[in-house]
């Protein structure tokens, strides 16, 4: 998960933290302003406003459930994080840069042999496979995530599907906050089903455009071919017309001219 860090103090703290044996940081989603559409593209002014907040004001703008993430690389202001597990903010320790205490969250106990959990997980996997057939961009993401997933289980499957779905950030946050594994799988299934519909629509649009472009190209080349044929045929046509006209004019004088 690449993140651009604009706060110099925060970036410096992350750089120092990355040098430790356990380079970790907390990643928390910023809440949308009240009354705004979470699906709308925000302008640079509203994006920058969050970077002006400090301490308690900043804390109020964060969702309290986030991810404990490993700092894998820092290049300039680009920080690459790898999520590990859920954490929840309990209190603020330092205002600038914002430092908090967290509780480490675990999934609620669940029965891995439960029929509903099994059926839902199978449907998630099946849908993911269908998306991979139509969306080549997913392949690189799948390869990246599977390299770091560790032991595969139902909670990880739900997180995996939500992470690569490209869904609305608030929907992904809903998956993150859900500790009931069965409910989390159902939420993820909704996201990947939606992604499948988007992939099918994208494929349909691409096919329509390709057919249109192909048709236009075909018409273009036929027009060019027709122009070329006209350039060759036109002089011959004019010559034949002149010969017929000349012959008709001199027929009465018994004079025949052959070209």
Instruction: Give residue 250's pLDDT band: very low, low, confident or very high (50, 70, 90).
Output: very low
Q: Can you give the pLDDT at residue 205?
A: 83
H or E stretch covering 63: none
Say which residue, 135 or 96, is predicted with more confidence: 96
H or E stretch covering 88: strand 78-94
Provide CB contacts within 8 A for 98, sequence distance 6+: 10, 54, 55, 58, 59, 92
Answer whether residue 249 shows pLDDT above 70.
no
Structure tokens at 34: 């009240």
Instruction: Give residue 237's pLDDT band: very low, low, confident or very high (50, 70, 90).
Output: low
Answer yes or no: pTM beyond 0.85: no
Give the range among 208-212, 236-240, 255-259 with minimum mean pLDDT.
255-259
Q: Which residue has the tokens 């002089």?
A: 235
Instruction: Give residue 259's pLDDT band: very low, low, confident or very high (50, 70, 90).
Output: very low
Alpha carbons within 13 angstroms on the beta-carbon side of residue 226 total 6
Nearest CA to 193 among 142, 125, 98?
Answer: 125
Mean pLDDT of the region 7-27: 89
Provide CB contacts within 8 A for 86, sequence distance 6+: 65, 66, 67, 68, 104, 105, 106, 176, 179
Give the range among 79-93, 97-111, 200-214 with minimum mean pLDDT.
200-214
Class of the CATH-defined domain 2-104? mainly beta
Say which residue, 41 or 137, is predicted with more confidence: 137
What tens digit of pLDDT does each residue of 159-214 get? Answer: 988 888 877 889 999 999 999 999 999 999 999 998 888 888 888 887 888 777 77
Q: What percentage of the chain has pLDDT greater than the value 90?
A: 38
- What own/partner pairs with CB < 8 Å and gap ≥ 24 does 182-186 have? 182/110, 182/114, 182/116, 182/117, 182/120, 184/107, 184/155, 184/158, 184/159, 185/117, 185/120, 185/121, 185/124, 185/154, 185/157, 185/158, 186/120
Q: Can you give the pLDDT at residue 117?
A: 95
Instruction: Give residue 34's pLDDT band: very low, low, confident or very high (50, 70, 90).
Output: low
**29 CB-contact burial (10 Å; exposed 0-12 / middle 13-18 / buried 19+):** middle
Instruction: Give residue 243's pLDDT band: very low, low, confident or very high (50, 70, 90).
Output: low
Backbone phi, psi, residue 68, to 5°: -80, 120
Mean pLDDT of the region 101-121: 94
For the chain, the structural domain boundaries read 2-104, 115-205
């Amino acid at each position: 998960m690449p993140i651009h860090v604009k706060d110099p103090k925060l970036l410096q703290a992350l750089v120092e933290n990355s040098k430790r044996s356990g380079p970790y940081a907390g990643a928390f989603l910023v809440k949308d302003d009240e009354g705004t559409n979470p699906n709308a593209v925000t302008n640079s002014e509203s994006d920058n406003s969050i970077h002006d907040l400090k301490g308690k004001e900043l804390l109020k703008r964060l969702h309290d459930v986030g991810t404990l993430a490993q700092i894998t690389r820092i290049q300039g202001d680009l920080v690459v994080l790898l999520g590990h597990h859920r954490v929840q903010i309990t209190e603020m320790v330092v205002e600038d840069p914002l430092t908090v205490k967290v509780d480490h969250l675990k999934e609620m106990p669940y029965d891995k042999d439960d029929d509903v959990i099994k059926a839902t997980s199978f449907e998630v996997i099946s849908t993911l496979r269908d998306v991979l057939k139509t969306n080549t961009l997913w392949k690189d993401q799948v390869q990246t995530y599977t390299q770091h997933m560790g032991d595969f289980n139902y909670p990880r499957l739900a997180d995996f599907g939500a992470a690569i779905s490209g869904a609305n950030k608030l929907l992904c946050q809903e998956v993150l906050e859900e500790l009931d594994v069965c409910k989390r799988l159902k939420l993820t299934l909704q996201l990947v089903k939606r992604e499948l519909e988007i992939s099918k629509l994208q494929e349909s649009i691409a096919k329509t455009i390709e057919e249109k472009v192909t048709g236009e190209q075909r018409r273009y080349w036929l027009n060019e071919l027709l122009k070329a044929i006209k350039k060759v045929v036109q002089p011959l046509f004019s010559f034949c017309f002149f010969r017929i006209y000349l012959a008709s004019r001199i027929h009465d004088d018994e004079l025949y001219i052959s070209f």
